[in-house]
């Protein structure tokens, strides 16, 4: 089983990158059993809409994961509540719309996808470690892929070690800066602290530098604008043994348009 996970898709530039580069990546690195992407920034940099969701599905993405910005477009919440191909972090409290995990199936291959969010330097939530324990008790699939949407590298590595040997892969999202620590742990779990973002790298983590610098220099609120230059797609390819669920290989991608 070969999985492609595309890092945080930021706005129209990120979606254009998926449109332009996914066919090339399929040709060079595929075929992929499933294509996953973090979509919480896909609609103008903040949140997701039904139209943008359908656009990404039409481009060949099988499942979209989320994070703290998945709630930003209030009109999307009813869609989130009924669409099992879009995930929000599973450790949000009961009563929040949507679901935190799903199972994808194609040609006899089955992959459980689990979305969790960290708590260090993030809004307070239920424990991602205990939530993972609870859900893994319900998941029967051998292959399990986890998007851990978190800020702190220490928390990410703690979850890597905690889930080692119990899931196929845990990759980090949220910081929008791709790290170079990809590895397969002895227990058969592939890891990467942050997959990085898919969008404009010429600003500040996907936003134009002028609006971002203004906020840092003055402390006053400013409206962020999505960066449209230095376009790059960041992602990761993970090979998984379908019978055992152990990761066989992990490789980072960073491709300029």
Cis peptide before 31 (omega within 30 of 0): yes
- In the residue annotation, 69 being an active-site residue is answered as yes
Nearest-angstrom CA–CA distance, 34 and 91: 24
Measure CA 200 to chain center.
Answer: 17
3-state class (DSSP) for residue 127: coil
Nearest-angstrom CA–CA distance, 59 and 188: 31
Nearest-angstrom CA–CA distance, 110 and 125: 29
Nearest-angstrom CA–CA distance, 253 and 228: 20
Q: What is the DSSP letter of 93?
A: P
Q: Which residue of the set 69, 174, 176, 201 is catalytic?
A: 69
Kindly list the catalytic residues: 69
């Amino acid at each position: 089983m070969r999985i492609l996970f595309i890092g945080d898709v930021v706005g129209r530039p990120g979606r254009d990158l998926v449109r332009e580069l996914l066919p090339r990546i399929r040709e060079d690195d595929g075929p992929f059993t499933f294509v996953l992407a973090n979509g919480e920034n896909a609609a103008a940099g903040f949140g997701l809409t039904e139209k943008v969701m359908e656009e990404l599905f039409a481009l060949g993405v099988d499942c979209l994961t989320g994070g703290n910005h998945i709630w930003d477009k209030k009109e999307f919440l009813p869609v989130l509540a009924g669409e099992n191909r879009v995930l929000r972090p599973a450790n949000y409290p009961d009563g929040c719309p949507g679901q935190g995990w799903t199972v994808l199936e194609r040609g006899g291959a089955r992959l459980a996808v689990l979305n969790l969010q960290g708590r260090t330097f993030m809004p307070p939530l239920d424990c991602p470690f205990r939530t993972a324990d609870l859900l893994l008790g319900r998941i029967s699939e051998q292959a399990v892929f986890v998007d851990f949407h978190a800020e702190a590298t220490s928390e990410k590595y703690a979850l890597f070690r905690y889930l080692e040997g119990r899931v196929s892969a845990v990759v980090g999202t949220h910081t929008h800066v791709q790290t170079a620590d990809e590895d397969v742990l002895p227990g058969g779990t592939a890891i990467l602290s942050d997959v990085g973002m898919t969008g404009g790298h010429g600003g500040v983590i996907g936003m134009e530098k002028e609006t971002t610098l203004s906020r840092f220099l003055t402390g006053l609120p400013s409206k962020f604008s999505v960066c449209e230059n230095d376009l790059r797609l960041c992602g990761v390819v993970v090979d998984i043994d379908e019978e055992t669920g152990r990761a066989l290989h992990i490789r980072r991608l960073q491709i300029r348009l």
